[in-house]
Amino acid sequence: GESVGLHLPTLSVQEGDNSIINCAYSNSASDYFIWYKQESGKGPQFIIDIRSNMDKRQGQRVTVLLNKTVKHLSLQIAATQPGDSAVYFCAERGSGTYKYIFGTGTRLKVLA
Amino acid sequence: DTAVSQTPKYLVTQMGNDKSIKCEQNLGHDTMYWYKQDSKKFLKIMFSYNNKELIINETVPNRFSPKSPDKAHLNLHINSLELGDSAVYFCASSQDSHTEAFFGQGTRLTVV
């Protein structure tokens, strides 16, 4: 069946440290991947995306890595701040489809 | 200005009632979606419309009926509400199948 990630784990990180959030996806035909951040009471907010013809993409304080061989996606957040506390979702989209399949999310807690 | 707006933000209703959630996007996007987020934060696509045409219908009970009067609006009507319909419903839009989806703030539906 469809699955992107299987748990809702919690990652606790000290303020100022780097965070790495991982995601496994199941559809090898997916060609577009997105990371979303969802704060309490709000909708998912786009952070960064990557297409399948790339293996790394950098934004402001964030880097997404894509390993198609093992169907793995990661989000790295540099110098994690309290405002980064949220649930993070990876999402994949199959080639030629309009369907975004979301993982179950990872809760990031930033410790002061 | 809110890019994707949905109303109401909260909806509490009794079992058996019929209710609607409205969604509007001012981004000029061609594609709109409805997602359901359960109590475990899992986000699952329900419907997708492209240029007012239904393109995804993900095994959703026919009590749920989306309506797209124009490209900027995608409303969700739910008949005969059940306890299991309680969830947060998110509307989203994207320019096409190759770009990220923008989400609304969600509608928390509670069926009592």
Residues in chain B: 112
Both tokens assigned to A34: 């997105």
Q: CA B101, CA B45: separation in Å to the nearest integer?
A: 12
Whether the pLDDT of residue A2 is over 60: the answer is no
More confidently predicted of B2 and A49 = A49
Residue among B31, B40, B43 whose CB faces A89 most closely: B43
Rg of chain A over CA atoms, in angstroms?
13
Q: CA A3, CA B44: separation in Å to the nearest integer?
A: 11
pLDDT digits 0-9 by tens, B25-57: 999 999 999 999 998 899 999 999 998 888 888
Inter-chain residue contact A96 with B97, CB threshold 8 Å: yes
Q: What pLDDT sits at residue A64? A: 98
A90 CA to centre of own chain: 4
The reply to whether omega before B8 is within 30° of 0 (cis) is yes
How confident is the prediction for chain A on average, in pLDDT?
Answer: 91
| B57: closest chain A residue by CA | A99
Which residues on chain A are in Cβ contact (under 8 Å) with B101? Answer: 34, 46, 100
Question: Is A62 at the interface with chain B, CB within 8 A?
Answer: no
pLDDT digits 0-9 by tens, A66-79: 999 999 999 999 99
B108 forms bridges with which residues in the sheet? Answer: B10, B88
Which residues of B, range 45-104, sit inside 8 Å of A by Cβ? 45, 48, 50, 55-56, 58, 90, 92, 94, 97-98, 100-104
* Closest to A100 (Cα-Cα) out of B17, B106, B93: B93
